[in-house]
Structure formats: structure tokens, C-alpha cells
Amino acid sequence: MLTVTPTGQILGATITGVDLKTDIAKADFAGILRALGEYGVLRFPGQHVDAASLKRFSERFGQIQVLKGVKHHEPGMPEVTVLSNVKVNGEPIGAPDAGQSWHTDMTYSQTKGFVNILSAFMVPMRDGKPVGSTEFTNTQAAAADLPADIAKRLTGLTATHDIEMFWEYMRREKGSKRPPMSAEMRAQRPPVHHPVLMKHPITGRNVIYVNPGFTTRIDGLPEAEGAELLKYLLDHVFQEKYRYVHEWAVGDLLLWDNLGSWHFARPDYGPDELRLMKRCQVMADRIFDPAFVQEALAA
Ligand SMILES: [Fe+2]
């Protein structure tokens, strides 16, 4: 039987009683979806999910994002990205998964990111403790705590999200050889606009849908006023009381909700401290369809 055990912290629950290597029952999926809306970051310990099962489970949530031109994926499965610092014959077998600032995946895209699902194969340990933890913030809890006058002011406002902001951040990193974004890349990924306060499709509660990685401005306000309001929101969400740290264990499958959180991969491990994860990023192409949610939760 599916059992959901909340961490008692601002985010996080542990889920047991389900085998993700099998096609899970509709009732179990409904329970997982409900828990995802409520707790944001779900840990399924001891699952040891392989790439094929990871892909099949991920497809229950929506379409998996396939990044064009990304070479680090499971052979024959472009939907499953390999994240690792392991090298074979001097060549890394995966993409690096740390070094980005706090962000929410895919807010720069018209179709938002919904969930990230990672299966942990190798977890670096130091002095008996895991390193390379993933940190989160709860933007749903932060929205609920907004002063009424600010929440009122935000109603109907949208913000601009632009991948170029992140691109430039990565260019400033030490040793980066990234060229500036080309006109062609910019044309493929133009800035997009999303509501600042967005209704979460599972819980129906508001989330603050801006993040430090991709949000460049609040639309329709004088520049200084918009910048001040954006800074206020980012500082508000970033408060310690909304934060949660997931410490990895080999065999974990971690499922997190991008619509209600930011995340940050701690870059606190060295090149000899080996880490290997396989990941699917699922788009919010179905979750905003009320019929999909109703059907998925009706179990
Ligand atoms: Fe990310």
C-alpha cells in the first residue's frame, strides 16, 4: 500500500509501498500526484530505477523534454539525461549537474517545466555523510504568507523569463568558453511571460512563479518599481524558513514539482567524489488541463 510520510519540514515526504519498476496502479499515481502538490519533493527510497523504468514512470506526468544536441543521454533514449562527473578514458560520461544558481527549470519556455525525476546510481560521501545535496525552496508556502497588499498588487501582473540571463551567468563562470547567444538561438528561445502569482494545477493554491535564474523583470511597471518588486519577491521566497535540503542515497528516486519550488544543486564535491544520476524533465503540457488532473486524481 502506498504510504506517504511527510518530513515535517517545509517540503518533502518519503513514499513507500510502490515499485516504480512496474506499471503502477492508477490509485497509486493519484496518491503520488496529490502528495506532490502538498509536499513538493518526494523521495522514493531503495527503488534502483533503471533508465527504461524512469522514462515510463515520467511519461505518466506529461511529455519528457528532449534537449536538442545534448550528447549525454542514455543510449537510444534521448529523454533520459545522464548527469555525472564519472570519466571513462578521460571523457565525462554525463553532463555536469552543479554550478547553476538557484532556479526553476524551464520557466523561460512557453510550456513550463512540471516535474524533474532523478534516479541516484552513485552518491558522493565524505566523512560518512552525503555531499552534492539538492536544496529547494517552497514558493507555494511563500505565496500564502505574502502580505495582503502585495498579493493584491501582484494580481494580474506577469513577469518576463529569458534564458539569455542564465546563459550570461554561465558565461561569467570561471573557465567558461561559452560564446554569447547567437541571433539564431535567441530567435528559437525568445523571452516569455508568465503570471507572477500562478494557481498551482494540483492544489489550486497560488505560487510565486518568479525565480533568480530566468526572471528578468515584472512587466508593465516602471523599470525601478518593477525591479524593486522583483527583488522583494526573490528575497521573500529565499528566506531560510522556506528551504529544504534533500540528502541523496543510492537507489533513491526523487520526484520534485518545479511549479511550486526553486532548486539548487550544491557544488560541494570534487572531481574524485563520484556522482551518477539519470534524469527526466517533464513538461507541464498536460497538468494545466483540468480534465487531466481530475481524471488522474479520481481514484
Ligand atoms: Fe534545474
Sign of the dihedral through C-alpha 84, 104, 252, 58 = negative
Q: 258 C-alpha vs ligand 1 centroid, how far in Å?
A: 9
Model confidence pLDDT, tens digit, residues 201-233 = 999 999 999 999 999 999 999 999 999 999 999
Q: 206 C-alpha vs ligand 1 centroid, how far in Å?
A: 21
Q: 222 C-alpha vs ligand 1 centroid, how far in Å?
A: 30
Q: 133 C-alpha vs ligand 1 centroid, how far in Å?
A: 13
Model confidence pLDDT, tens digit, residues 29-80 = 999 999 999 999 999 999 999 999 999 999 999 999 998 777 899 999 999 9
Q: What letter does residue 250 receive in the DSSP assignment?
A: T
User: How many CB atoms lie under 10 A from the CB of residue 86?
Assistant: 15
Q: 290 C-alpha vs ligand 1 centroid, how far in Å?
A: 26
Model confidence pLDDT, tens digit, residues 160-174 = 999 988 888 888 877
Q: Is 264 in contact with 139 (CB distance < 8 Å)?
A: no
Q: 289 C-alpha vs ligand 1 centroid, how far in Å?
A: 24
Domain count, the chain: 1
For residue 32, what are the domain limits? 3-297
Q: 105 C-alpha vs ligand 1 centroid, how far in Å?
A: 5
CATH (domain of 284): 3.60.130.10
Q: 1 C-alpha vs ligand 1 centroid, how far in Å?
A: 31
- In percent, how much of the chain has pLDDT > 70? 99
User: Does the pLDDT at position 90 exceed 80?
Assistant: yes
Q: 198 C-alpha vs ligand 1 centroid, how far in Å?
A: 20
Cell of 92: 565525462
Q: Which helix (H) or strand (E) holds 217?
A: strand 215-218
Sign of the dihedral through C-alpha 66, 52, 284, 209 = negative
Give the C-alpha separation, 54 to 196, whole Å: 32
Q: 60 C-alpha vs ligand 1 centroid, how far in Å?
A: 20
Q: 95 C-alpha vs ligand 1 centroid, how far in Å?
A: 12
Model confidence pLDDT, tens digit, residues 97-122 = 777 889 999 999 999 999 999 999 99
